[in-house]
């Protein structure tokens, strides 16, 4: 294993970071979430939209890694380079916040879905206590060194891919074309709604399962070769997308859509149980537990790295740029796990903590992705890093515009509720962290445009708070 503290992450290690970040709990919930919304026809359309959009975004990350090799921890650094300090902060804060929410989702899933007799839906008092113990156990393990944690992540990534591949092979063995054809447009008991509504209902889960596509970009400062960042992004995207599409579509050929929609999460376990019996559910459940723990570890590393990198670039208070003797951004890790702990406690007041945390995680990632795509458009238009008259420049501009349009479409598909709730979180983040960082630098708080952006965010947050207080918006 390469020594990440010396900047020696290989292509294989970077690809493992992408795959490990993307293959978490979400892929194990795809059969039920899709079957609830649509049949194979709608699922194919949804994956064509999501896959094409995220591929465009992956290509933007690849192009930016090649054209701007001087920019590290690209998720927020690209936003800052293209759109200024405050947008860079919002990107960093939004990405970090979404990662924290995702970590809460993992604990809710692990306890609520596997041990419901003990922990209820994962938001009971005892579930919260056990989650807090787990959060802080991982915290102190990571403090011992990033290299050790990254090595564990690589091993876990291999371990959690195996059950998914076995499940896909079993679905292929029991593939029934007549059953697939019966389900194709929804089959028996399909709710009456338009194809557009069916596809829209799958969009947030597709965003969630694609989170982590930027894993190599986040760790770009550790890359052995800068070109490996873009290559790892594409390799990870292609491999995981293939797995996700197979996990979604093959179950439709083994059982009625309504039966798949009715299984409990993680629905891949229930879908396999319909085919081979209880041992299939147990087998997948073991894989999910490994996957959840591995994904939690990967995202804990990413959370701390994003906060650390933002502090190093003066987009966050310098307190979070400190590292301990093992090279771990300790203060960033402490803040991350304090916030994760607070979110875990807040699940006690949620009606459906499982889906709420999943959807909130997805929406918070959209702004960073939109700004990355927008920066891809900017550098292609300016010709930064391109030869004069290069066809590559036009190609990359078209790709970046498609990524922008896809991300904007996802904001619409997400719905106003989640956008307002994200604004509720952005305002205190701005007031506490951004203003703190700007005062440390004795820099101007906002340009006129940035002040306008903050004003819109405040208005959206006020509407969100009003909705929560009046019950119009329910978490």
In which band, very low, low, confident or very high, does the pLDDT at 319 lie, cut at 50, 70 and 90? Answer: very high
Task: Between 221 and 435, name the one with better pLDDT.
Answer: 435
- Res. 142: pLDDT tops 90: no
Q: Is 315 part of any domain? A: yes
In order of 113, 340, 355, the CA distances from 347 in angstroms are 15, 11, 11
What is the domain count for the chain? 1
List, in order, residues 6 or more apart from 192 with CB less than 8 Å away. none
Helices then strands, counting H and E runs in the chain, come out as 22, 0
Q: What is the CATH number of the domain that holds 117?
A: 1.20.1740.10
pLDDT for residue 123: 80
Residue from 402, 409, 412, 394 nearest 373 by CA: 402
pLDDT tens readout for residues 413-467: 777 888 898 899 999 999 999 999 999 988 899 999 999 999 999 999 999 999 8
Q: Is 416 part of any domain? A: yes
**Domain that residue 306 falls in:** 4-470
Please provide the size of the chain in residues: 475
Q: 37: how many CB neighbours lie within 10 A of its CB?
A: 23
- Residue ranges in 174-202 assigned as alpha helix (H): 177-183, 195-200
Peptide bond into 266 cis (omega under 30): yes
Question: What share of the chain has pLDDT > 90, as a percent?
Answer: 35
pLDDT tens readout for residues 257-312: 999 999 877 788 889 999 998 888 888 888 777 777 777 877 787 788 888 888 98
Looking at mean pLDDT, say which of 12-21, 294-303, 336-345 comes out highest: 336-345
pLDDT tens readout for residues 163-205: 889 999 999 999 999 999 999 998 888 878 888 889 888 887 8
311-322 as b/e, with b when 16 or more CB fall inside 10 Å? bbbbbbbeebbe
The mean pLDDT of the chain is 84
pLDDT tens readout for residues 74-131: 678 889 999 999 999 999 898 888 888 878 877 887 787 777 788 887 788 898 999 9
Say how far apart CA 147 and CA 287 lie, in whole Å: 24
Q: Which residues pair with 9 in a beta bridge?
A: 223
pLDDT tens readout for residues 344-359: 898 887 776 666 777 7
Q: Is 475 part of any domain? A: no
């Amino acid at each position: 294993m390469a020594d990440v503290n010396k900047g020696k992450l290989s292509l294989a290690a970077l690809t493992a970071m992408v795959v490990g970040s993307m293959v978490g709990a979400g892929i194990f919930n795809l059969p039920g979430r899709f079957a609830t919304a649509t049949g194979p026809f709608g699922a194919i359309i949804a994956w064509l939209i999501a896959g094409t959009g995220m591929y465009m975004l992956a290509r933007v990350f690849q192009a930016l890694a090649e054209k701007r090799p001087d920019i590290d921890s690209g998720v927020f650094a690209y936003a800052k380079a293209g759109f200024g300090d405050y947008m860079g902060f919002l990107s960093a804060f939004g990405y970090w916040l979404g990662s924290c929410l995702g970590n809460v989702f993992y604990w809710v899933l692990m306890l609520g879905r596997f041990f419901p007799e003990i922990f209820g839906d994962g938001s009971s008092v005892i579930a919260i206590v056990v989650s807090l113990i787990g959060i802080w156990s991982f915290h102190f393990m990571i403090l011992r060194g990033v290299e050790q944690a990254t090595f564990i992540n690589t091993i876990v990534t291999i371990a959690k891919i195996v059950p998914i591949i076995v499940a896909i092979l079993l679905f292929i063995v029991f593939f029934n074309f007549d059953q697939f054809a019966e389900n194709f447009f929804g089959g028996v008991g399909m709710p009456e709604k338009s194809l557009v509504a069916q596809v829209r209902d799958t969009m947030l889960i597709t965003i969630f399962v694609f989170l982590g596509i930027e894993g190599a970009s986040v760790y770009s400062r550790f890359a052995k070769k800068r070109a490996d960042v873009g290559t790892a992004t594409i390799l990870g995207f292609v491999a995981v997308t293939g797995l996700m599409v197979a996990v979604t579509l093959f179950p439709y050929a083994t059982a009625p859509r309504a039966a798949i929609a009715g299984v409990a999460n993680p629905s891949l376990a229930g879908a396999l149980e319909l085919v081979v019996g209880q041992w299939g559910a147990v087998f997948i459940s073991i894989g999910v537990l490994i996957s959840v723990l591995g994904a939690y570890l990967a995202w804990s590393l990413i959370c701390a790295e994003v906060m650390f990198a933002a502090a190093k670039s003066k987009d966050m208070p310098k307190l979070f740029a400190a590292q301990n003797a093992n090279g771990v951004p300790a203060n960033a890790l402490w803040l991350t796990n304090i916030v994760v702990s607070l979110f875990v406690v807040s699940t006690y007041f949620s009606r459906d903590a499982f889906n709420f945390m999943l959807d909130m995680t997805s929406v918070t990632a959209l702004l960073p992705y939109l700004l990355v795509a927008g920066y891809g458009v900017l550098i292609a238009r300016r010709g930064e890093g391109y030869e004069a008259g290069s066809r590559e420049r036009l190609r990359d501009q078209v790709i970046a515009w498609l990524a922008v349009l896809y991300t904007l479409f996802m904001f619409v598909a997400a719905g106003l509720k989640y956008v307002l709730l994200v604004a509720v979180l952005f305002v205190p983040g701005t007031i506490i962290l951004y203003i703190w960082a700007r005062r440390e630098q004795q820099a101007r708080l906002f340009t006129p445009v940035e002040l306008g952006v903050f004003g819109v965010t405040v208005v959206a947050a006020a509407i969100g708070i009003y909705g929560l207080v009046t019950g119009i918006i329910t978490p």
